[in-house]
Amino acid sequence: MIPNILVPEHELLDPESAQKLIEQYKVTRSELPKIKKSDAALTDIKPKTGDIIRITRNHPAVGESYYYRVVVEG
């Protein structure tokens, strides 16, 4: 699939990285922002409910920034 330049990169965190994220920020999965399993940006990833997705956004002034979402049904 050809990537859309307007859609930031979405990647599935492996279980170890997801656990480190939860410990580092002292949050639970339910406290993370949500992203629906049916979101078009996740089509190629095929995540399971409860997986954590890292979204990488690039900005000319700031550089790379990361956002995290937990996958929910929908």
What is residue 42's predicted lDDT score, i.e. its pLDDT?
Answer: 94
Query: Containing domain of residue 29, as a range?
Result: 9-72
Instruction: Say if 4 falls within a structural domain.
Output: no
Instruction: Say if 40 falls within a structural domain.
Output: yes
Instruction: Say if 2 falls within a structural domain.
Output: no
Instruction: Say if 1 falls within a structural domain.
Output: no
- The span from the CA of 8 to the CA of 3, in Å, is 9
Residue 8 to residues 4, 21, 31, 34, 54, Cα–Cα distance (Å) = 8, 20, 22, 16, 10
What is residue 1's predicted lDDT score, i.e. its pLDDT?
Answer: 52
Instruction: Say if 19 falls within a structural domain.
Output: yes
Total domain count for the chain? 1
pLDDT-derived band at 66, boundaries 50, 70, 90 = very high
Per the model's pLDDT, the better-predicted residue between 53 and 4 turns out to be 53
Q: What digits encode the pLDDT tens for the residues 3-48?
A: 677 889 999 999 999 999 999 999 999 999 999 999 999 999 999 9
- What's the CATH number where 65 sits? 3.90.940.20
Instruction: Say if 3 falls within a structural domain.
Output: no
What is residue 67's predicted lDDT score, i.e. its pLDDT?
Answer: 97
